[in-house]
Amino acid sequence: MSTVIVNKIYELKKHIKDWKNNNYTIGLVPTMGALHKGHASLIKEAREACDKVVVSVFVNPIQFGPNEDFDKYPRQIDNDKALCEELGVDIIFAPSAEEMYGKNNRLNNTDLTFVCPPYNLVDCLCGKSRQGHFDGVATVVLKLFNITKADFAFFGQKDAQQLYIIKTMVRDLNLDIKIVPCSIVRENDGLALSSRNTYLSKEERSWALSMSKALNQIKTLYDGGVTDTNVLLDSAISILNKNLDIEYIEFRDFDTFEKIDNAKTNTLVAIAAKSGKTRLIDNIIL
Amino acid sequence: MSTVIVNKIYELKKHIKDWKNNNYTIGLVPTMGALHKGHASLIKEAREACDKVVVSVFVNPIQFGPNEDFDKYPRQIDNDKALCEELGVDIIFAPSAEEMYGKNNRLNNTDLTFVCPPYNLVDCLCGKSRQGHFDGVATVVLKLFNITKADFAFFGQKDAQQLYIIKTMVRDLNLDIKIVPCSIVRENDGLALSSRNTYLSKEERSWALSMSKALNQIKTLYDGGVTDTNVLLDSAISILNKNLDIEYIEFRDFDTFEKIDNAKTNTLVAIAAKSGKTRLIDNIIL
């Protein structure tokens, strides 16, 4: 059976109703399209775990800042569809901004009801430089949860802060959905997959490689018994390419999201940096 | 069958699951308890429209400001239960604050995911003097919607701004629930019912009576052809007792919530005032 592209909410709801009447479990993979092997791994997990799989493809305007790459973000629905066909996706939900936010384009908090994650989780890491980003993410994700009535939703661990925020939203708002975290997928040389990698020149790409190398170095030291985050940080900095514009490297307890001085099991080590004009993120969990 | 009081979310969910398996429709009447005839009218509508009726009784801490009446708000679960029995309510859901907001009491936006209604709807009328109130309302209401999986929820038109905000949340977050507005219930002398009326001395109560009188006067003039809101406002002010501390009297289109200069069909006329220390609200729709 081939993948159906659905653009309208009411149309998707008809399929969902049918599926619910048949007691099918529904898996949602929320994406902004430009699908790569990272997304493919989420879709495969969804395909294995659920009777029906919906991949949403929506470049969500309310999670982009005014100086960010909303306009140039890659859109390639034909490629996306081909991949989804191959992976046995039932429906691609690809709504317009108007379909999601109404005819009069309610895109900001004067006109639209927003979901606002806890300030403690937002005012750090990527949230520091991307004001309002996670409000936009949480809002669209809740909308997608409500529209699809999914039983499971699959999120990449690459966006570790997003993953933590979504899990917190599920807890705080008593949502009946299971969040499934999926491992980071990397190129052979270690670069974490991202739709934004297409922005990189060859040179910028080579600089970016040092990010995963630095994270691996931290893991190696930690496995060897080093837990002092200052020591781990210094070793990472010595490896990171000098042309990168480092935004943060942080160590956080991935259970509580608190900053820590001594690495331990389930420590998130997260990094963000610009390579040229392209902002990249990566992380590992110790 | 008698009304069951349920304090735990997991316990309520068991009932809800049972009901859903039987395809029963579920009606929710969210309250803060201290039930009066106004609530009774909501419950009666729910009882008629739905197979199963849940009345939530929860004095929600996150919708009270620091100088408001959270501590002294009337709590009388035995009376509430008696009324619910009489009206055939299936379940009273009366959780603790800890049950709703966790052991470490996540009560503010540093720790808790909040639902934030549009600023345009919040930065006016009651929202002006009650900062954060509607964020707290929207958040707890969404939690209750998610916990009960209700098909219908019943809200009094007395809290007109709240009603409008909840309807907007349902639209913006793609919730699958029908909001049923219910008319204001009044004492024989016109005073709108409110759990806070119990705070009023005999004298304060007599002052408060002029609020509904002023609204009635506006309606009479409007029915007689007067639409200029300045004229209508002046007539109301001439009737309002001089001991009341008027917070606002406003005319708004109840479809768009915009302020209007000329009254028309579906105009909300809303008033808030303090009688002694007790803050009261009332409204009519023309």
CB B252 within 8 A of CB B267: yes
What the block records as the tokens of B151 is: 């098909």
Query: Of the candidates A109, A113, A139, which has its C-beta nearest B168's C-beta?
Result: A113
pLDDT value, residue B101: 97
The CATH topology of domain A4-182 is: Rossmann fold (3.40.50)
Class for the domain spanning B195-280: alpha beta
CB B136 within 8 A of CB B122: no
What the block records as the tokens of A204 is: 């910028």
Interval A81-90: pLDDT, tens: 999 999 999 9
Indicate if the pLDDT at residue B1 is higher than 80.
no
SS3 B36: coil
State CA A282 to chain mean position distance. 11
* Interchain contact, B115 vs A173, CB within 8 Å: yes
The DSSP annotation for B133-195 comes to: HHHHHHHHHHHHHHHHT-SEEEEETTSHHHHHHHHHHHHHTT---EEEEEPPPB-TTSPBP-G
Nearest to B165 by CA among B227, B212, B123, B193: B123
Nearest residue of chain B to residue A114 (CA atoms): B116
CB A59 within 8 A of CB A51: no
Which residues 6+ apart lie within 8 Å of A211 measured at CB?
A191, A192, A240, A244, A271, A273, A280, A282
CB A213 within 8 A of CB A239: yes
Q: Kindly tell me the burial class for residue B23, based on how many C-beta atoms sit within 10 Å of its own C-beta (0-12, 13-18, 19 or more).
A: exposed
- CATH 3.40.50.620 residue window(s) in chain B: 4-182
* Interchain contact, A9 vs B174, CB within 8 Å: yes
The phi and psi torsions of B249 (rounded to 5 degrees) equal -135, 120
Indicate if the pLDDT at residue B88 is higher than 80.
yes
Distance separating alpha carbons of residues B95 and A174, to the nearest angstrom: 14
Distance separating alpha carbons of residues B218 and B211, to the nearest angstrom: 11
- CATH 3.30.1300.10 residue window(s) in chain B: 195-280
Instruction: With beta carbons under 8 A apart, name residues in chain A contacting B177.
Output: none
Distance separating alpha carbons of residues A6 and A91, to the nearest angstrom: 7
Distance separating alpha carbons of residues A196 and A74, to the nearest angstrom: 8
Name the H helices within B224-260: 229-239
**B231 phi-psi bin (left φ>0, alpha ψ -120 to 50, beta other):** alpha
- How many residue pairs bridge chain A and chain B with CB atoms within 8 Å of each other? 78
What the block records as the tokens of A118 is: 């806890």
pLDDT value, residue A105: 85
Q: Name the stretches of chain A with pLDDT < 70.
A: 1
**Radius of gyration for the alpha carbons in chain B, expressed in angstroms and rounded:** 19
* Interchain contact, A116 vs B114, CB within 8 Å: yes
pLDDT value, residue A118: 97
Distance separating alpha carbons of residues A15 and A38, to the nearest angstrom: 27
- The predicted model scores a pTM of 0.96
Element at B283 (helix H, strand E)? strand B278-285
What the block records as the tokens of B113 is: 């995911």
Interval B130-168: pLDDT, tens: 999 999 999 999 999 999 999 999 999 999 999 999 999
The CATH topology of domain A195-281 is: Pantoate--beta-alanine Ligase; Chain: A,domain 2 (3.30.1300)
- Mean pLDDT of the region B104-117: 94
Instruction: With beta carbons under 8 A apart, name residues in chain B contacting A132.
Output: none
Instruction: With beta carbons under 8 A apart, name residues in chain A contacting B112.
Output: 118, 172
Interval B33-75: pLDDT, tens: 999 999 999 999 999 999 999 999 999 999 999 989 999 999 9
Indicate if the pLDDT at residue B181 is higher than 80.
yes
Nearest to A115 by CA among B163, B118, B148, B123: B118
* Interchain contact, A139 vs B114, CB within 8 Å: no
pLDDT band of B104, cuts 50, 70, 90:
confident
Sign of dihedral through CA atoms A237, A238, A239, A245?
A: positive
Element at A50 (helix H, strand E)? none
SS3 A118: coil
Distances (CA, A) of B215 to A240, B121, B269: 70, 22, 7
Instruction: With beta carbons under 8 A apart, name residues in chain B contacting A168.
Output: 113
Helices (H) and strands (E) in chain B, counts: 10, 10
Interval B229-240: pLDDT, tens: 999 999 999 999
Greatest alpha-carbon pair distance for chain B in Å reads 58
Report the 10 Å Cβ neighbour count for A132.
18
Angle between helices A133-148 and A9-21 (to 10 degrees): 50
ipTM comes to 0.95
pLDDT value, residue A1: 64
* Interchain contact, A115 vs B115, CB within 8 Å: yes
**Which residue is associated with the tokens 């919607």?**
B145
What the block records as the tokens of A92 is: 């691609």
* Interchain contact, A172 vs B147, CB within 8 Å: no
The mean pLDDT of chain B is 96
Query: Of the candidates A113, A171, A175, which has its C-beta nearest B116's C-beta?
Result: A113
Our CA-based measurement puts residue A267 at a distance from the nearest CA of chain B, in whole angstroms, of: 20
